[in-house]
Amino acid sequence: QNKIFSDNYLEEPYDLSNVFFILTANYLEDIPYALRDRLEIVELSSYTEYEKFEIAKRHLIPKQLKLNGLDNNEFVLEDDALWEIIRKYTREAGVRELERMISSLIRKAIKKMLLEKVKDIKVKKEDVESYLGKPIFLYNQIDLHDQVGVVTGLAYTHYGGDTLSVEATYFKGQGNLQLTGQLGDVMKESAQAALSYVKANAAKFNIDPQIFKDNDIHIHVPEGAVPKDGPSAGVTIATALVSLFSNKKVKHDVGMTGEVTLRGNVLPIGGLKEKSIAAARSGLKTILIPKENQRDITDIPELIQKDLDIVLINSVEDAVSHALE
């Protein structure tokens, strides 16, 4: 390989053979293949909200207090208030926006101290909106009632984990499948595989096969403006279809994730730690995960493991037996 770089301005060659290059990128897909093929890639997942909380407590708040000339006795941000900022005012992989929000909060607190001639300020959860305005982001919360054809899935994004509802319904038609919610090609194929599995195993779930011929099926994933893709919603879609056609309600506090095959096997997924945190945050009590992901359970924070009943599943049948009433 070439080891000399020649500067066209200075016309001076540089020996780069002993130079170690370190590059960073937010999205691996944006790196040209020819360059990516020559890199040793180290992937780092986004910070969890628990990590962001600790980073803010130990580093960001002390840094901003020092920059603004305050000490710990003059300004106190309660833990509940910090959680409010992390969850409702930022949605990012890192902590850049979180630091901006903390900085803005401290400056507005200083203004209040000067105008009202007070020596110190304690910011509580209920005070955050008066300083930072109305919440910018709202995380999904689970439904409070069991429903037919509605299942909570677990998703992983560049910003961490989240939950998503998968809704299924049917109506008179000719057996067509309609998919909405701005789904990507991989997720559409997962839905088709899930439907094929349910059709092939209708008798196993006490479903009349004629129902597939006489009706059209519509699967929708809410928040239609947000693009969604990936195979991990396969078991969620399959469970929603079984619930729909068997007219059995799905437990509202159960979530699941896993890729599904035409034989009904549930394959492993990524982002289990982030998905589990999202599940606990949204109010889920039980999550169903592929058995092959058992090795990843140790990555889940202990606090989250205590809050969740984590069930290992091998197949769609396992998911149905745990999720349906």
- Tell me the CATH number at 203: 3.30.230.10
Active-site entry in 46, 165, 232, 315: 232
What DSSP letter does each residue of 253-316 carry, written as one string? Answer: TEEE--EE-TT-BEE--S-HHHHHHHHHHHT-SEEEEEGGGGGGGGGS-HHHHHH-EEEEESBH
Domain identity same for 201 and 100: no
Backbone angles phi, psi at 65, to 5 degrees: -65, -45
pLDDT score of 144: 84
Count the Cβ atoms, other than its own, within 10 Å of residue 205.
17
pLDDT score of 241: 97
Q: Which of 305, 317, 278 is nearest to 87 (CA)?
A: 278
pLDDT score of 46: 77
Kindly report the CATH number assigned to the domain that includes residue 61. Answer: 1.10.8.60
Q: CA-CA distance, 292 to 298, in Å (whole number)?
A: 13
Our answer to whether residue 104 is catalytic in this structure is: no
pLDDT score of 1: 54
pLDDT score of 114: 93
- The contacts of residue 222 (CB under 8 Å, 6+ apart) are 164, 165, 167, 181
Total domains present in the chain = 3
The range of the structural domain enclosing residue 102 comes to 49-132
Domain identity same for 210 and 311: yes
Domain identity same for 271 and 185: yes
Of 132, 165, 184, which residue is a domain's last?
A: 132
Domain assignment of residue 214, yes or no: yes
Domain identity same for 178 and 115: no
Active-site entry in 52, 165, 275, 276: 275
What DSSP letter does each residue of 155-189 carry, written as one string? Answer: EEETTEEEEEEEEEEEEESSS-EEEESSB-HHHHH
pLDDT score of 206: 93
Domain identity same for 166 and 314: yes
Our answer to whether residue 112 is catalytic in this structure is: no
Domain identity same for 162 and 197: yes
Domain assignment of residue 263, yes or no: yes
Domain identity same for 88 and 203: no
Domain assignment of residue 225, yes or no: yes
Domain assignment of residue 44, yes or no: no
Domain identity same for 288 and 167: yes
Of 132, 167, 197, which residue is a domain's last?
A: 132
Domain assignment of residue 243, yes or no: yes
Domain identity same for 24 and 61: no
Domain assignment of residue 42, yes or no: no
pLDDT score of 111: 94
Q: CA-CA distance, 260 to 249, in Å (whole number)?
A: 21
Domain identity same for 203 and 310: yes
What DSSP letter does each residue of 213-234 carry, written as one string? Answer: HHEEEEEE-S-TTS-B--STTH
Domain identity same for 170 and 315: yes
The tens-digit pLDDT sequence of the chain (325 residues) is 577 777 778 778 888 888 888 988 877 778 899 988 989 999 877 788 888 999 999 999 999 999 999 988 899 999 999 999 998 999 888 899 999 999 999 999 999 999 999 999 999 999 999 999 999 987 777 788 999 999 999 988 777 788 999 999 999 999 999 999 999 999 999 999 999 999 999 999 999 999 999 999 999 998 876 788 889 999 999 999 999 999 999 999 999 999 999 999 999 998 899 899 889 888 899 999 999 999 999 989 888 899 899 999 999 999 999 999 8
Q: CA-CA distance, 155 to 233, in Å (whole number)?
A: 8
Distances (CA, A) of 244 to 91, 149, 240, 281: 34, 4, 6, 27
Domain identity same for 79 and 156: no
Domain assignment of residue 118, yes or no: yes
Domain assignment of residue 41, yes or no: no
